[in-house]
Amino acid sequence: MAALYSGRKRRNVIWTGLAYAATVLGLSMLAIILGTLLWKGFGGLSLDVFTKNQAPPGVVGGLLNAIVGSVIQTFIGLAIGAPLGILAGTYLAEYGQNARLAYVVRFINDILLSAPSIVVGLFIYELLVVPVGNFSALAGGVALAILGAPIMVRTTEDMLNLVPNTLREAASALGMPRSLVIRHIAYKAVRSGIITGVLLAIARMTGETAPLIFTALGNSLFTLDPRGPMSSLPLIIYEFARSPYAEQQKLAWTGALILTFSVLALSIGARALSASTQQK
């Protein structure tokens, strides 16, 4: 009897101990990665990074063209992806609900949510780069839109489902058409929730590299023209990390630090916003 008890207890201690160990491992990996980024990247932070363009080895350069490129391409991605994602999410929650089309769209959207981003890049290459004949920031932005839209579809639908039906019924009873009920009542009730989805999508789009290799390509010069190739932070990190020159590697780490902390800040901000919506 005693042997049985102590055996069960021992097993329990060993297995729960392993669960503790797994958590410690996970948390320490996060700490190690963020620590490495700070240690290697923080020293390179200076005003030059934000005010100078990338330069050939031997010349003091910065990341200005890459940062501006990232902002422009994310903006293009958002301008295309946000209306698409929010409207499709609205269809799922408000009009489609249990229709067969809604089931299919939900399923496909969930797959797009984790589809390999490199495949999306190849798709846009076939669609927008080959026929036009040159790489462009516009193509990069469209690729990012495809990666960001599913996130907004999902959060918009989830958030609209939180709106109590009595609210919709009250507005309908006053004679408001369906579209006005959605736009003026439902959207307003969960505005911060929808913004959460947009922020999460921006975070995802800013960090993507693989689809940009075949679409925006990268550019060592400062450019604002979306019809031509353009650099971005992930692309410049990709290029400089494999460079043999120490100063370019250092800039890669600084870029990595800036990129990681902006992306993490966006996703933490999104989380805080969604927590406050759900409490309401």
Partner 1 sequence: MERARALGRLKFSDSGFRLATVVSALIVLILLAGVAIALFVGALPAFREFGIGFLFSDEWNPPKERFGAATAIYGTLVTSLLAMLIAVPVGLGIAVFLTELCWPPLRRPIGIAIELLAGIPSIIYGIWGVYYFRPVMQSYIQPFLISTLGNVPGIGFLFAGPPLGYGVLTAGLVLALMILPFITAVSRDVFDTVPTVLKEAAYGVGATTFEVVGNIVIPFTRVGVIGGVMLALGRALGETMAVTFVVGNATKIQTSILAQGTTISAMIANQFADADPGLFTSSLLALGFILFVISFLVLAAARWMLARLEMKA
Map the footprint of partner 1 across residues 255-274, applying CB under 8 A: 256, 259-260, 263-264, 267-268, 271
Can you tell me the distance from the alpha carbon of 86 to that of 201, in angstroms, rounded to the nearest whole number? Answer: 11
Using the rule CB under 8 A, is 277 a contact of partner 1? no
Q: Is residue 88 a contact partner of residue 251, using CB atoms and an 8 Å limit?
A: no
Would you say 101 or 224 has its CB closer to partner 1? 101
Work out whether 137 is an interface residue with partner 1 (CB under 8 A). Answer: no
Enumerate residues 52-81 that contact partner 1 by CB under 8 A: none
When asked if residue 88 is in the footprint of partner 1 (CB under 8 A), the reply is yes
- Residues whose CB is less than 8 angstroms from the CB of residue 73 and which lie 6 or more positions away in sequence, other chains included: 137, 140, 141, 144, 205, 212, 216, 230, 232
Size of the site for partner 1 (CB under 8 A): 87
Which of 54, 65, 73, 117 touches partner 1 (CB under 8 A)? Answer: 117
Taking CB under 8 A as the binding criterion, the range among 64-72, 187-195, 219-227, 234-242 that sits at the site for partner 1 is: 234-242
Residue type, 239: E
- Asked if 77 and 67 touch (Cβ cutoff 8 Å), the reply is no
Q: Is 30 in the site for partner 1 (CB under 8 A)?
A: yes
Query: Buried b vs exposed e over 154-178: b needs ≥16 C-beta within 10 Å?
Result: bbbbbbbeebeeeebeebeeeebee
**Residue 174 C-beta: closest distance to partner 1, Å:** 13
Among 18, 71, 132, 221, binds partner 1 (CB under 8 A): 18
222 contacts 68 by C-beta, under 8 angstroms: yes
Nearer to partner 1, 90 or 136 (CB): 90
The reply to whether 143 sits near partner 1 by the rule CB under 8 A is no
**Assign residue 243 a region: left if phi > 0, alpha if psi is -120 to 50, beta otherwise?**
beta
Nearer to partner 1, 33 or 224 (CB): 33
Residues 166-195 that bind partner 1 (CB under 8 A): 177-180, 182-183
Measure the CA angle with vertex 35, ends 211 and 206; round to 5°. 25
Please identify, using beta-carbon distances, which residue of 227 and 242 lies nearer to partner 1: 242
Stretch that binds partner 1, among 50-58, 86-94, 165-173, 186-194 (CB under 8 A): 86-94
Contact mark string toward partner 1, 190..229, x via CB under 8 A: -------------x--xxxxx--xx---------------
Task: Report the nearest approach of partner 1 to the CB of residue 16 (Å).
Answer: 5
Q: Which two tokens stand for residue 51?
A: 């005010």
SS3 (DSSP) at 162: coil
Q: How far apart are CA 85 and CA 92, in angstroms?
A: 11
Judge contact between 128 and 142, C-beta under 8 A: yes
For partner 1, give the closer residue by CB, 90 or 219.
90
Q: What are phi and psi of 208, to 5 degrees?
A: -75, 135
